[in-house]
Amino acid sequence: MYLVTVEEMRSIEKSACEKGMPYETMMANAGKKLAQVIEARYTKKRLMLVTGLVGSGNNGGDTLIALISLQKSGWNTAALLLKERPNDSLVKNYLDSGGRMLTSTDHGFAGSTKTVLQATGVLLDGVLGTGVKLPLKEDARKFLSLINKELAGQTVVAVDCPSGVDCDSGDTAPETIHAELTVCMEAIKTGLLKFPAFEFCGEVMAVSIGLEDAIREQNIKRNMLDRDWVKGHLPKRPMTAHKGTFGTVMVVGGCANYVGAPLLSGKAAYRSGSGLVTLAVPQSIHPILAGYFPEAVWLILSDEGGVISELAADTVTNHLSKIDVMVVGPGIGREATTQRFLDELFFPRNGNGKIRRVGFLVEPENEKIQKKGLPKLLIDADGLRWLATHDDWHEKINANIILTPHPGEMASLTGLSIDEIQQNRIEVAEVFAKKWKQVLVLKGALTVIAAPDGRTAIVPVASSSLAKAGSGDVLSGMIASFVGQGLELFDAACVGAWIHANAGLSASGKLGGDVSIIATDIIDAIPHVFSGLR
């Protein structure tokens, strides 16, 4: 589902109009699609009123058309108007269809509104549109406040956006009505996937109103991920496959303080479809892990006090030709010897301080090895903290990488504050994906995935079920699994992040809430998400 700014949407509509689609046709299409959504989703409420909150703009027109369509299909409807819509044929058509209409200037409007809302099952919020700026005007504030006061269990469906939301910034008015479902016309407005607006939207979906060609002409590269997109990008699972078909993932990490992190990544990779998973861990923690993960292949690394020693670099390097993707960072720690291990792995030098073997640097003498190909990388956790200590790392490392920082790690990588990042998550992710020329997954509520070519995707999930230690390790293994199965890095990050988020929601549903969820619950829920997709 496309994600656009308000100005981009205006440009799309203008382009479509200039090429032969009048605004009236767009509105008619929007209203009919809205009615179809109500018919499909809320048939059990058919005996109750469908009430439309109608403003003076296009959203109000969409709502009236939907009410006309529903009225003709046998639903009982009512319309509550913010203000008169003089000489509007839609008003006449609605009344002619048998609809009931009240206007805020009518005598006894407040009492009549209470009576109508008590009989209402579905409430369509079409008061204010996507171009609204805050603060709201007095008449809108009073109208929305009255509605909010009388709401008691009605299913609220927002038309294009909840009234009172700034659809660019994501700011909200105090009078904004909470929706269970927001039905966007053709494309989702960027501000709806920002806080606090997202809290008022409920489920967000888009319906087509005939503007697909105009959107393609605008070269829109932002999307909100949904089930259909993810289903269409899942790796194929041929019946003739063997374990090599689905890739080999190697997880490099673990230490005495974070024993379980590589285990979580490895198990998540297997649950996501990998054919073979290798855990490269320090020798001292291998006996602890081995009994919990019989499916793993183990690469035992030199150990210094329970952490990976700098002496382990050769062991990992000699294993690279056997893998398709390497995860670096889960539970790896920040001890000095481990930092030197990473230095040696990525920036190997001889005694004179010069490059002595390939690592991941672009050097003329490395061309023969470069042509053989290097494993794709996913760097997470303390791997990212280590990366942040190397200035201009993105100009030195020659590899295809997915970076998966949470806001704190992103702050270390960029020098921005966490507040600066959180206030502009989409824009920050896009800027640094382009600067670093790598795929970036900015974790957190409404995870952002950005590619260096400008593609951006948002996972429309915000849940405390994922706010647990180890959740990020699970995500790193899942994304790496899809890379190993052959997906392009951006697609793998999108598929992995969406399934991870929905596994968190699934675990929450199974356990009766977010409080008790731990990272292994998310892994256990991965099959359930796959089942829903397939």
**CA triplet 383, 341, 439: central angle to 5 degrees?**
30
Q: What is the mean pLDDT of residues 384-391?
A: 96
- SS3 label, residue 122: strand
Q: What is the mean pLDDT of residues 445-457?
A: 98
> What is the C-alpha separation between 81 and 223, in angstroms, rounded?
34
User: Is the pLDDT reported for residue 373 higher than 90?
Assistant: no
> Do 3-220 and 232-238+245-533 fold alike per CATH?
no
Could you tell me the residue ranges of all domains in the chain? 3-220, 232-238+245-533
**Confidence band, pLDDT 50/70/90 cuts, at residue 361:** very low
Helices 519-533 and 261-271, axial angle in degrees (round to 10): 10
User: Is the pLDDT reported for residue 441 higher than 50?
Assistant: yes
**Confidence band, pLDDT 50/70/90 cuts, at residue 350:** low
93-107 b/e (C-beta count within 10 Å ≥ 16 → b) = ebeeeebbbbebeee
Predicted pLDDT at 468 = 95
- SS3 label, residue 378: strand
Q: No. of H helices and E strands in the chain?
A: 22, 21
Predicted pLDDT at 348 = 75
**Confidence band, pLDDT 50/70/90 cuts, at residue 358:** very low
> What is the C-alpha separation between 493 and 505, in angstroms, rounded?
18
Quickly list H helices, 354-423: 367-372, 382-387, 393-396, 407-414, 418-423
Mean pLDDT, the chain, whole residue set: 94
Predicted pLDDT at 353 = 56
Dihedral pair phi/psi, residue 181, rounded to 5°: -145, 135
Neighbours of 89 (CB within 10 A): 11
HSE at residue 9, side-chain half, CA atoms within 13 A, is 22
- SS3 label, residue 181: strand
- pLDDT tens column, 238-284: 999 999 999 999 999 999 999 999 999 999 999 999 999 999 999 99
In the CATH hierarchy, which top-level class contains the domain 3-220?
alpha beta
Predicted TM-score (pTM) of the model is 0.93
Q: Are 28 and 41 in contact (CB under 8 A)?
A: no
Dihedral pair phi/psi, residue 204, rounded to 5°: -115, 130
- pLDDT tens column, 490-523: 999 999 999 999 999 999 999 999 999 999 999 9
Sheet strand arrangement including 325-328: 222-224, 456-458, 448-450, 439-442, 401-403, 376-379, 325-328, 248-252, 276-282, 297-301
User: Is the pLDDT reported for residue 370 higher than 50?
Assistant: no
At 155, list the tokens: 């299913």
52-68 b/e (C-beta count within 10 Å ≥ 16 → b) = bbbbbbbbbbbbbbbbb
Q: For domain 232-238+245-533, give the CATH number.
A: 3.40.1190.20
- pLDDT tens column, 148-158: 999 999 999 99
